[in-house]
Structure 1
Amino acid sequence: MNYIWNKIAWGGDPDEINDVTGLSKRDIYNIRKSWTAMYAESEKYGLQLFLGLFRLNPVTKTFFKTIQDLDEEAISNSAQFRAHVINFMTSFNSAVTNLEHPEIVIALMNKLGESHRRRRIQKEHFDEVKVVLVDILKNQLSASDDLLASWTRFVGFIYKNIFEKLCETADC
């Protein structure tokens, strides 16, 4: 009976791991459900993510010439930076919404890796983004351990494909 229920409700085993993404159908469900809340307030959460990154590692602020000398309030009021935040959240949304098509996510993340390589962004900076993201998930969205595990697998998948291009000509 459980097999039939899973076939109907999930389209198969909800915990079967996709060989390409490393994610299960349950992971995708968890990620999308929590992402919906974040994306509904994308500018708010995107700004929190970047401001948290700048607090964690102030050097990262220097990657953005237009805001490198601004305080947090001025950064939050910068239309140009807010546009970058929205672009970031939209890119993240594209990855979340295309998880059933990993080849699309891989292409998107490879492109992101290439563009960040040209800007000399390092792998460690992406790791710091992950730290801030987990903090937001825990403290603002009350993420459970299961949800955090799903996000960890998701970030691992996208980072693998970002790093493939980010580290193409450099030691990572």
Structure 2
Amino acid sequence: MGCDNSKRDIVEEDEEHCYADEFSEHQIDSIKSTWPILSRDRQKTGVDFFRNIFNAEPVVKAMFKKDRTISDDQLLNSSEFLKHVDNFMSALDNVIDLLEYNTVETQHSLIVLGAKHATFHGFKEEFFTLYSKCMIDTWESVIGEEFIEEVKESWEMFIMYITRYMRQGFVIYLQDTKTQDETIVY
């Protein structure tokens, strides 16, 4: 489950321009019916997700390690990291709860979350693609035999939805920061 490139890549939003902002009833049902499996042990699922990311891209792990001397196990069990895991799972929970409404508020909160990620030293836009791949791998592992093709496709669409708006926020933040830097007179 190394989030490798041998698995079918999730559609790149920028390449395909495949932005469905509305989910079918069936997709919503697939997501909402499998979310309880994923959130049964929220912390374990979240930690497994980040462990997959860290294994695929050690640079991301380094972003979490403020103290370079701590072991990987210490990192994965630290209160700061577990709070991040909880925030991640709660953010997904919130989007899933409002999925059938596809509110502007949900989109805005994802844009803000993407902008926040732009403030993390070393975070790159391409990490959204890595996160997408690792999320699918983790979900498949946790959901197991119920992770049939239609469930996978529903989750891929969900992930494209959240990363679309998070990327927008990320890019907007960087553009605004660059613009502000350019207008400063030294």
Identify whether the pair has TM-score above 0.5, normalized to the shorter chain: yes
Is the 1:109–1:158 contact (alpha carbons within 8 Å) kept by the matching residues of 2? yes
In structure 2, do the counterparts of structure 1 residues 50 and 67 end up closer, same or farther at CA, with 3 Å as the change threshold? farther
CA shift, 1:108, in A, is 1.5
For residue 158 of structure 2, the aligned residue among 154, 163, 169 is: 154
Is the 2:128–2:167 contact (alpha carbons within 8 Å) kept by the matching residues of 1? no
TM-score, normalised via structure 2 length: 0.75
Q: Which residue pairs with 1:7 in the alignment?
A: none
Is the 1:22–1:157 contact (alpha carbons within 8 Å) kept by the matching residues of 2? no
Bigger shift: residues 107-116 or 137-146:
137-146
Q: Comparing both chains, which one has the higher relative contact order based on Cα–Cα distances under 8 Å and sequence gaps of 6 or more?
A: 2
CA shift, 1:132, in A, is 1.3
- Counterparts of 1:31-70 in structure 2, within 5 Å, are 31-66=31-66, 69-70=69-70
Q: Which residue pairs with 1:80 in the alignment?
A: 80
Is the 1:21–1:154 contact (alpha carbons within 8 Å) kept by the matching residues of 2? no
Aligned length: 152
Is the 1:52–1:132 contact (alpha carbons within 8 Å) kept by the matching residues of 2? yes
Q: Which residue pairs with 1:89 in the alignment?
A: 89
TM-score, normalised via structure 1 length: 0.80
Q: Which residue pairs with 1:9 in the alignment?
A: none
Identity %: 22
Q: What's the CA shift string for 1:115-146, capped at 9, x where partnerless?
A: 01122522211111111111122223121111
- What is the Cα-based RMSD across aligned positions, in Å? 1.8
In structure 2, do the counterparts of structure 1 residues 68 and 166 end up closer, same or farther at CA, with 3 Å as the change threshold? farther
Q: Which residue pairs with 2:114 in the alignment?
A: 113
3-state SS, counterpart of residue 167 of structure 1? helix
In structure 2, do the counterparts of structure 1 residues 67 and 132 end up closer, same or farther at CA, with 3 Å as the change threshold? farther
CA distance in 1, matches of 2:114, 2:65: 20
CA shift, 1:70, in A, is 3.1
In structure 2, do the counterparts of structure 1 residues 67 and 156 end up closer, same or farther at CA, with 3 Å as the change threshold? farther
CA distance in 2, matches of 1:84, 1:36: 20
The letter for the 2-side match of 1:131 is K
CA distance in 1, matches of 2:134, 2:96: 18
